Homo-oligomer: A and B are copies of this chain.
Amino acid sequence: MSVQRFPHGDPYEGTGLPELGFRNYWYPVLAAWRLGRKPKALKVLGEDVVVFRDHGKVYALAERCPHRGARLSQGQCLYPGSGTISCPYHGWTFSGDTGRCVAKLMEGPDASASREIAVKSYPVRVLRGAVWVFVGDIEAPPLEDEVPEVLKATEDWHGFATWRTYRCNWRIMKDNLCHDMHAPFVHRNSPELKFQPVFPFASRLAAFPLEGGNGIGYVARDGVPSADYPGLGPFPPKRERWYRFLKPTGRGKEIDAKSAAVQKYGVKYRQSSLMPGATFIGRPNGNYYVLRWVTPIDEHSNFYYSWSLFRRQGWWRTLREKLFWIFWVSWVHDWLFSDQDKRLLEAVIPGSEIYSRTDAGVIAWRRYAVEHARERAAAAEKRSAEAAAE
């Protein structure tokens, strides 16, 4: 008997969303400071990758040595400065830049033809503290063209990052980040939000393509902070209301035309989804952004990299924001608040779904992503190249 993967049906069948993620994009895979002298084995979009550092430069190659299958991550850079890594088994040595085998140490310097042997070499960059790898089959575009301005501009923005592995498919994770109005429900009693009114819900949600052409922005209107349900009672339920005496923070507010974000900085949407699976969340005042990148690991897990970015407004304010992040955001939001999603998402039983008004953002994202995915273009390119070669 074969293993039945989706006894309840495959919710992504027919959507075109690839199980292992969109190829031909950059993905953050590791905090750069965690890469020391020892190479690190990673799995990205189902591919085994070794990342290593030599004289400060970071390299990424396929993990499997083509000789006898040993793991390059168990090897080391034997010749510092050469940008190479040597297989732990027989010393086949590969260039970190090109992936080509430049020596077979146990076979001697006269080993023939070794330069025709190569492992896949991945474009790799370090940006805003993360190691980024480009997984795909085409030439990598510059990483800078693919990330929001606030991530690149380190002189204007300061910030922090956290990361976690989620034991669920990346699509289940990304669906959670499409403004689907789960937040007013799931997180309403998290320590961060417990004493505020719940976020507005029952909004009309619309999605618009971003001007940069790299995603969609969400607009939610006419939301309410409470409602009465016939036969049941109000939401939030009465016993959850008396302690909600604080004013709402910016987190739940939509950006409108009068927001500083729009007026001064031209950021039109409070929340947007970016290719290949990122989420960009801002505040109406335009001084704080959150960028969250979902990196598929394999069918069953993904790596979630999240930046909190503050506009630099003088050293005193920067210091306050750093302390605020360290003593508040890091654990109350990135840990406790996120854990509510993690527990829920990792337990989801994938299967056929029934979409409703609140899922407009999910549906819009899926459609946009599949239509605009670079993957498709690359596949077409590959086919025509193969046709030309014949």
Q: Which residues of A contact B (CB under 8 A)?
A: 1-3, 5, 8, 11, 48, 63-64, 66-71, 74, 78-79, 82, 84, 88-91, 93, 102-109, 111, 117, 172, 175, 180-182, 184-186, 201-202, 224, 227-233, 235, 237, 343-344, 347-359
Interchain nearest-CB distance for A39 vs B (Å): 13
- Enumerate chain B residues within 8 angstroms of A88, measured Cβ to Cβ: 185-186, 344
- Given contacts A107-B202, A107-B356, 5 further A-B pairs with CB under 8 A are A8-B69, A69-B172, A69-B350, A74-B343, A90-B356
User: Are A2 and B1 within 8 A (Cβ)?
Assistant: yes
Q: Are B106 and A358 in contact (CB under 8 A)?
A: yes
Check B111 against A356 for contact (C-beta < 8 Å).
Answer: yes
- Among B184, B232, B357, B359, point to the contact of A103 (Cβ < 8 A): B232
Taking the closest CB of chain B, its distance from the CB of A237, in whole angstroms, is: 5
Contacts of A175 in B (CB 8 A): 68
Query: B232 touching A102 by the CB < 8 A rule?
Result: yes
Q: State whether A79 touches B353 (Cβ < 8 A).
A: no
Q: Which residue of B lies closest to A9 (CB)?
A: B69
User: B63, B89, B109, B347: which contacts A186 (Cβ < 8 A)?
Assistant: B89
| Inter-subunit contact B82/A231 (CB<8 Å) | yes
In angstroms, Cα B71 to Cα A46, docked, is 27
Task: List B contacts of A78 (CB < 8 A).
Answer: 232, 235, 237
Do A227 and B348 form a contact, CB below 8 Å, given A2-B3, A232-B82? Answer: no
CA distance A347 to B74 in the complex (A): 9
**Interfacial chain B residues near A358, Cβ < 8 Å:** 90, 104, 106-107
Asked if A344 and B74 make an inter-chain contact with CB atoms under 8 angstroms apart, the answer reads: yes
Top 10 A-B pairs, shortest CB-CB distance: A108-B202, A106-B181, A79-B232, A69-B348, A64-B349, A91-B185, A103-B229, A106-B201, A71-B347, A105-B235
Q: How far is the CA of A229 from the CA of B350 in the complex (A)?
A: 54
**Copies of this protein, total:** 3
> How far is it, in angstroms, between the C-alpha of A56 and the C-alpha of B66 when the chains are bound?
51
* CA of A237 to CA of B224, assembled, Å: 69
Minimum CB distance partner of A67 in chain B: B354
Among A63, A68, A79, the most chain B Cβ lie within 10 Å of the Cβ of A68
Contact (A108, B354) CB under 8 Å given A8-B64, A63-B349, A79-B233? no
Tell me if B1 and A1 are in contact (CB < 8 A).
Answer: no
With A186-B88, A353-B69 as contacts: A227 and B1 at CB distance below 8 Å: no
Chain B positions within 8 Å of A63 at CB level:
349
Cα distance A103–B358 when bound, in Å?
13
Q: Could you show 6 A-B contacts with beta carbons less than 8 Å apart?
A: A67-B355, A69-B353, A88-B344, A93-B229, A103-B229, A111-B356
Are B64 and A351 neighbours in the complex by a CB distance under 8 Å? yes
A45 to B192, CA, bound (A): 41
Of B66, B93, B237, the residue contacting A232 (CB under 8 A) is B93
Q: Please, which residues of chain B bring their CB within 8 A of the CB of A103?
A: 229, 232
Q: Kindly name the residue among A78, A102, A230, A237 whose own CB sees the greatest number of chain B CB atoms within 10 A.
A: A78
Q: What are the residues of chain B within 8 A of A359 when measuring CB–CB?
A: 68
**Which residue on chain B has the smallest CB distance to residue A233?**
B79
| A84 surroundings in chain B (CB, below 8 A) | 232
A150 to chain B, nearest CB (A): 30
What B residues does A182 contact at CB under 8 A?
A: 89-90, 106
